[in-house]
């Protein structure tokens, strides 16, 4: 086929595309078939699909595995913005206008030492820099260089207790006029993973507002929608039942997979 590469995509690339399609599958069905989403069996189909995806993922990649890292030469010319590009929230706008000097990350829930962090305090935590590829279910990818505090270092300080099962990330951006905000969650395995960062720099510069300033989550073996931008608070919980629609994230509440591993 002229103009088409004959190179076979690497196994990992094919798996990534498949998982991306699976992760979005439930949501596009929901969007396309509004009537179906109101029948009793439909949520069960989605729940079943999630279990299959997670089981398949665990079978091919151990949970502790590192996501692929790249070189400076691989960096995308620019890292695009997706979803919210500038939160429509007066408190956030005031923080941004002050260079985020007044920003505080609140950490609470099932932890022995709840506390807040200023940006300087987050920057003082043990950090990591990594060049990784971000894959969005909408069909684009970009390679960027991220620097941030290791979430594991924050865990060492706040000490989640034995009943903590998930970290929930609450964001500044409203998604509608009813007070719904973007949020996301990960389990404690991913929270402890060395590549899981509270990122404050992108491509050697302060994280731009369009990409989640002042803090955005990087959880490198998962899809783009897990990487919460504009993180204002982190809560440690044992279940999602009292949060949003109870599925663990803004997009999950609308039908996306909770476990978006790649
Ligand atoms: N708070 C918040 N986080 C978010 C989103 C968003 O709209 N709001 N979009 C998600 C999606 S779908 C993707 S692909 C990435 C996009 O990150 P970027 O804007 O840095 O490209 O952020 C994710 N995190
Ligand atoms: Mo995305």
Which tens digit of pLDDT belongs to each residue from 223-242? 999 999 999 999 999 999 99
- Between the CA of 40 and the centroid of ligand 1 the distance, in Å, is 31
Residue 115 CA from chain centroid, whole number: 22
Q: Is the pTM of this model over 0.85?
A: no
Question: 82: Cβ below 6 Å to ligand 1?
Answer: yes
Where is 44: in which H helix or E strand?
helix 41-60
Question: 81: Cβ below 6 Å to ligand 1?
Answer: yes
Higher model confidence: residue 38 or residue 224? Answer: 224
Please, which pLDDT band fits residue 32 given cuts at 50, 70 and 90? very low
Question: 86: Cβ below 6 Å to ligand 1?
Answer: no
CA 116 vs CA 92, 106, 214, 235, 239: distances in Å: 17, 4, 15, 12, 23
pLDDT at res. 61: 67
Rg of the chain over Cα atoms, rounded to whole angstroms, equals: 18
Question: 227: Cβ below 6 Å to ligand 1?
Answer: yes
Q: Quick one: which ligand is closest to 184's CA?
A: 1
pLDDT at res. 24: 64
CA-nearest residue for atom 23, ligand 1, is 225
- Between the CA of 24 and the centroid of ligand 2 the distance, in Å, is 10
* DSSP E strand stretches across 64-180: 105-109, 115-117, 127-136, 140-150, 166-174
Q: What is the percentage of the chain residues whose pLDDT exceeds 90?
A: 74
Question: 231: Cβ below 6 Å to ligand 1?
Answer: no
């Amino acid at each position: 086929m002229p103009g088409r590469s004959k190179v076979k995509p690497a196994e990992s690339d094919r798996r990534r595309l498949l998982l991306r399609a699976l992760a979005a599958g439930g949501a596009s069905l929901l969007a396309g078939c509004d009537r179906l989403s109101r029948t009793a069996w439909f949520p069960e189909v989605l729940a079943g699909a999630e279990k299959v995806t997670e089981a398949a993922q665990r079978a091919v990649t151990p949970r502790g595995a590192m996501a692929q890292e790249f070189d400076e030469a691989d960096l995308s010319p620019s890292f695009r913005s997706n979803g919210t590009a500038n939160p429509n929230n007066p408190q956030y706008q005031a923080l941004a206008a002050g260079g985020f000097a007044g920003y505080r990350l609140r950490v609470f829930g099932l932890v022995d030492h709840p506390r807040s962090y200023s940006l300087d305090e987050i920057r003082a935590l043990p950090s990591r820099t990594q060049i990784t590829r971000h894959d969005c279910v909408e069909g684009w990818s970009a390679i960027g260089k991220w620097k941030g505090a290791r979430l594991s270092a924050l865990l060492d300080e706040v000490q989640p207790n034995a009943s903590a099962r998930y970290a929930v990330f609450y964001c500044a951006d409203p998604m509608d006029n009813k007070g719904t905000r973007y949020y996301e969650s990960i389990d404690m395995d991913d929270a402890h993973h060395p590549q899981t960062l509270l990122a404050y720099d992108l491509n050697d510069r302060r994280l731009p507002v369009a990409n989640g300033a002042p803090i955005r989550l990087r959880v490198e073996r998962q899809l783009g929608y897990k990487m919460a931008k504009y993180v204002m608070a982190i809560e440690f919980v044992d279940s999602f039942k009292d949060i949003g629609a109870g599925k663990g994230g803004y997009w999950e509440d609308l039908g996306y997979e909770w476990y978006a591993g790649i």
